[in-house]
């Protein structure tokens, strides 16, 4: 496996490669990342994993400085999952002039759900992913379904800016109790981690109600809230929106697929999760 730290070297490799699949990450790789890397490797061509903790997507009171980092561990994980290349640039390589004054703004899709409390987050995500697309030149890019809003934002950016990149959504990988794998799970104590499994159980309870015919948005959301709050977890939001554009949906759902998403804080960790209601959207 090749390790690249400079944009110039990555661009040189890009020119020499027929097809590239990119897995953008912020490192501290877990089982979810391993599935992304394996999915990319299965597409054929060169599998590139980027590892870069992007300062543009963190607000002033967020966890940029304490975000977990362990490059040596990540290299072992990436190699075992099937990566051919790890692109791990320094902040000074990606932003040589310091704070980037050029940012990508996508409007309302970034202002709902997580965007309400993290107003600069998705602008930072879109900006760094656009840079990675330009630098790496992938045919496909792989993102986890857990980060549903991120997937929607990247797809909107790809469409609006005419990137010739296929965005592949990979199913969420979960711990034994249903908790979605996340680098931020390391912030949880053992007790908090066990309690955090309630988030997915609450989502699947609503999923069962939907399968039984419940179409009232309020009833599905109340089912989630009841379970989450019974575990002494304070939700930041529980919402149902269109799965692709994150638009509001009616009080009574029709048969079109929708996203049931939540965010909650447990101890030091802010956790997100979601399920799709309606037609399964295989990628």
Catalytic residues: 33
Asked if residues 22 and 142 have their Cβ atoms less than 8 Å apart, the reply is yes
Distance CA 246, CA 255 (A): 16
**Nearest alpha carbon to residue 259 among 247, 234, 238, 276:** 276
133 token code pair: 């697309």
Give dist(CA 57, CA 120) in Å, integer.
6
> What single DSSP character describes residue 141?
E
CA 274 to chain centre: 11
Beta bridge partners of 51: 25
DSSP type of residue 7: H
| CA 236 to mean position of chain CA atoms | 18
């Amino acid at each position: 496996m090749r390790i690249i730290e400079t944009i110039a070297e990555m661009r040189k490799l890009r020119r020499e490669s027929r097809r590239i699949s990119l897995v953008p990450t912020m490192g501290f790789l877990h089982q979810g990342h391993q599935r992304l890397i394996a999915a990319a490797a299965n597409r054929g061509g060169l599998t590139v994993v980027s590892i870069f903790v992007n300062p543009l997507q963190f607000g002033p009171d967020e966890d940029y400085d304490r975000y977990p980092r362990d490059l040596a561990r990540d290299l072992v994980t990436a190699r075992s999952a099937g990566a051919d290349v790890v692109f791990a640039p320094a902040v000074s390589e990606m932003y040589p002039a310091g704070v980037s004054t050029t940012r990508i703004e996508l409007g309302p899709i970034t202002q709902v759900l997580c965007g309400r409390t993290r107003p600069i987050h998705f602008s930072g995500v879109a900006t760094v992913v656009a840079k990675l697309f330009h630098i790496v030149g992938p045919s496909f890019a792989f993102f986890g379904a857990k980060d549903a809003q991120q997937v929607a934002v990247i797809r909107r950016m790809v469409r609006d800016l005419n990137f010739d990149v296929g965005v592949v959504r990979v199913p969420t990988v979960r711990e034994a109790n249903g908790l979605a794998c996340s680098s931020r799970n390391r912030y949880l104590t053992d007790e908090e981690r066990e309690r955090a499994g309630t988030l997915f159980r609450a989502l699947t309870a609503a999923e069962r109600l939907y399968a039984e015919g419940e179409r009232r948005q309020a009833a599905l959301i109340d089912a989630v809230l009841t379970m989450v709050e019974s575990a002494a977890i304070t939700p930041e939001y529980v919402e149902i929106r269109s799965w692709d554009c994150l638009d509001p949906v009616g009080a009574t759902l029709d048969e079109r697929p929708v996203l049931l998403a939540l965010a909650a804080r447990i101890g030091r960790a802010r956790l997100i999760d979601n399920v799709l209601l309606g037609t399964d959207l295989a990628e």
